[in-house]
Amino acid sequence: MRVFKPAAIPPSEITSRERYLNRREVIAGLAGTGLAFGATTALAAERLKFTKNARLSTSEPTNSYEDITTYNNFYEFGTGKAEPAERAARFKPKPWSVTIAGEAEVKGTFTLEDILKPHALEERIYRLRCVEAWSMVIPWVGFPLGDLIRRFRPTSRARYVAFKSVMRPDEMPGQRFPVLDWPYVEGLRMDEAMHPLTILAAGLYGEVLPNQNGAPLRLVVPWKYGFKGIKSIVEIRFTERVPPTSWNISAPREYGFYANVNPQVDHPRWSQAQERRIGAGIFTPKQPTLMLNGYADQVASLYAGLDLRKNY
């Protein structure tokens, strides 16, 4: 059983990752080439340069590297929580390019390097609350999406930002099945996209994103349910109209465009009042879910006058 030690472990990402890798190497030695390959690629992960943003980080203990990288939703690799880690090794996040399109003065297709170059990376430790009522604390490495948006000068008609994930059924076995309407798409209102808490992440625990966490570039919006955090982004489009979003297309009664974390508005099939912190151990009680995932002071004003029961 995994034991969560809130006070005992200082938030030392390197220690956590080394402990995980040592265990992986032992497992690999026992199990043979398949896992040995996994351990080798993990060891080869590239370290990023970044500063720590303590002001915008939670002081809660971070989840382990193992929890964050082996318990995932990434339906392109299967619907099981272990499947992304097991099946994403063959995915190629390099080379990568991102197309900027729609209502903007600057548009085109840019290499990942060109997208990242002007931005200083920061580590931000954010809570991630999944719509399925579990949560984690993740040390992302990224930069404000708003800084990227400004570079491309959206026109006055741009009211929303639409995101698209990569479509690669050869590398993503889940895309061979119509579980969702592929490719995965998401969207934000322009003011949500420009909010300083909204980031594009290129890494976690100080290293480039593992494939299963959305390599090489993914969205993180900490006050919204996890499914808004679209992974492996290939297109960012500025639009006049509300863009379609994958989970809303799939089950509109259950998943709205906003998807703000709200303990007072239940999912039609379960309560959103509490959450299970991954890694906390089976004897740890569920914890209350916080309004806007604990970021209400910073973002509640974005929704003044909006009926959050209708706009779920």
Site of interaction with ligand MTE (CB under 6 A): 72-76, 128, 130, 165, 184, 213-214, 226-227, 229-232
Q: Tell which positions 1-40 bind Mo ion, by CB under 5 A.
A: none
Q: Which of 234, 149, 158 is nearest to 193 (CA)?
A: 149
**Smaller CB separation from Mo ion, 131 or 193:** 131
Angle at the Cα of 204 from the Cα atoms of 203 and 210, rounded to 5 degrees = 70
Out of 68, 115, 121, 130, the residue judged to bind Mo ion by CB under 5 A: 130
76 contact, one of Mo ion, ligand MTE, none, CB 5-8 Å limit per kind = ligand MTE
Please list, in sequence order, all residues whose beta carbon lies within 8 angstroms of the beta carbon of residue 156, skipping any fewer than 6 positions away. Answer: none
Beta bridge partners of 187: 162
Q: What is the smallest separation between the CB atom of 33 and ligand MTE, expressed in angstroms?
A: 26
**Smaller CB separation from ligand MTE, 154 or 198:** 198
Q: How far apart are CA 209 and CA 311, in angstroms?
A: 32
72 contact, one of Mo ion, ligand MTE, none, CB 5-8 Å limit per kind = ligand MTE
State the CB neighbour count (10 A cutoff) for residue 82: 13
Q: DSSP 3-state assignment of 165?
A: strand
**Smaller CB separation from ligand MTE, 220 or 299:** 220
Beta bridge partners of 97: 111
Phi, then psi, of 207 in degrees rounded to 5? -125, 160
Q: How many residues bind Mo ion (CB under 5 A)?
A: 5
**Smaller CB separation from Mo ion, 113 or 266:** 266
Q: Between 57 and 96, how does the x/- string for binding to Mo ion read (CB under 5 A)?
A: ----------------x-----------------------
Q: Which of 123, 132, 142 is nearest to 261 (CA)?
A: 132
List contacts with Mo ion (CB under 5 A).
Answer: 73, 130-131, 226-227
